[in-house]
């Protein structure tokens, strides 16, 4: 796909391109989501990440329809919720998502959580493989999967997930997981890339000084770090000015020394739900 000038993209194992920086709409109410997505598309975003459980797919679809942007210039992700997992429920769930989005296909469809107590994620993966072959999802992947969950999918399925979307931020860098999945061709995608406000980024040693050296905000430094790590990232914001700020990270680079300093900030500090506990 074509991305706006200066923006970066990553090649998935399908050969498709995913814009490396997008907009997430987690916890964005349906009644305001349409305008927020329109604002994002207006300032240059081409990658939108939503999910069935966010209950705003219809608003995302309305924004896409009224934006005037060609479908092949957009990358749209949605996700399968836990209660919709299973061989027969999964295709029905995607059909509902496509209807709400007003789209004939999504660019990426993810199993939202492994939900191990339900033990339906392998059956769901088989359904995703059929969905991919039918052209209803150009790429398929998973979210919040640990290595043990990925191993089962790899052993029992026939398609390697294109993406694993996981919690990832400077204090929780997922080095072990990334070391497992990335050599297999599974791209790492970060949710909560700025720590979801659950700790102060400014407290991380050296981060303020790096931001000052580049004349950028701390948040811009962290987003740039994600990009240079090869991670796909989609910070959430409802403010247009912050969207513009988050998108203004393609005009500078962090030095190898600065990247090393950021790597040293890893504290194995998870701030969200552990994948083994996401069994709602």
Say how far apart CA 145 and CA 162 lie, in whole Å.
Answer: 13
Tell me if 103 sits within 8 A of 70, measured CB to CB.
Answer: no
- Name beta bridge partners: 169: 172
Tell me if 102 sits within 8 A of 71, measured CB to CB.
Answer: no
- The answer to whether 199 is a known catalytic residue is no
Tell me if 122 sits within 8 A of 157, measured CB to CB.
Answer: yes
Tokens 């990658």 sit on residue: 47
In eight-state DSSP terms, residue 20 is: S
Distance of CA 31 to the CA centre of its chain: 22
Distance of CA 141 to the CA centre of its chain: 11
List strands edge to edge, sheet with 187-191. Answer: 23-24, 47-49, 75-80, 106-111, 137-143, 163-167, 187-191, 232-233
Say how far apart CA 73 and CA 99 lie, in whole Å.
Answer: 20
Say how far apart CA 36 and CA 240 lie, in whole Å.
Answer: 8
Tokens 């997981």 sit on residue: 177
Catalytic residue among 54, 105, 121, 199: 54
How is residue 228 written in tokens?
Answer: 């240079």
Tell me if 56 sits within 8 A of 29, measured CB to CB.
Answer: yes
In eight-state DSSP terms, residue 167 is: E
Say how far apart CA 116 and CA 270 lie, in whole Å.
Answer: 19
Say how far apart CA 208 and CA 59 lie, in whole Å.
Answer: 37
Catalytic annotation, residues: 54
């Amino acid at each position: 796909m074509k991305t706006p000038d200066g923006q970066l993209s990553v090649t998935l194992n399908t050969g498709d391109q995913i814009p490396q920086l997008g907009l997430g709409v987690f916890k964005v109410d349906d009644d305001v989501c349409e305008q927020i997505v329109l604002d994002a598309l207006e300032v240059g975003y081409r990658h939108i990440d939503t999910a069935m459980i966010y209950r705003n797919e219809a608003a995302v679809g309305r924004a896409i329809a009224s934006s005037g942007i060609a479908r092949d210039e957009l990358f749209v992700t949605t996700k399968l919720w836990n209660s919709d997992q299973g061989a027969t429920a999964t295709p029905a769930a995607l059909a509902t998502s496509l209807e709400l989005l007003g789209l004939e296909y999504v660019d990426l469809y993810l199993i939202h959580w492994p939900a191990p107590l339900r033990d339906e994620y392998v059956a769901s993966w088989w359904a995703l493989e059929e969905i991919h072959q039918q052209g209803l999802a150009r790429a398929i992947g998973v979210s919040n999967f640990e290595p043990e969950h990925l191993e089962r999918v790899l052993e029992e399925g026939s398609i390697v997930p294109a993406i694993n979307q996981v919690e990832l931020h400077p204090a929780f860098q997922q080095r072990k997981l990334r070391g497992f999945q990335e050599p297999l061709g599974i791209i790492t995608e970060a949710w909560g890339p700025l720590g979801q406000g659950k700790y102060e980024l400014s407290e991380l040693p050296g981060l303020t000084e790096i931001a000052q050296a580049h004349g950028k905000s701390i948040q811009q430094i962290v987003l740039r770090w994600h990009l240079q790590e090869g991670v796909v990232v989609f910070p959430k914001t409802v403010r247009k000015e912050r969207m513009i700020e988050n998108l203004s990270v393609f005009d500078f680079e962090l030095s190898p020394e600065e990247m090393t300093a950021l790597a040293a900030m890893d504290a194995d500090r998870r701030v969200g739900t552990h994948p083994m506990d996401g069994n709602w």
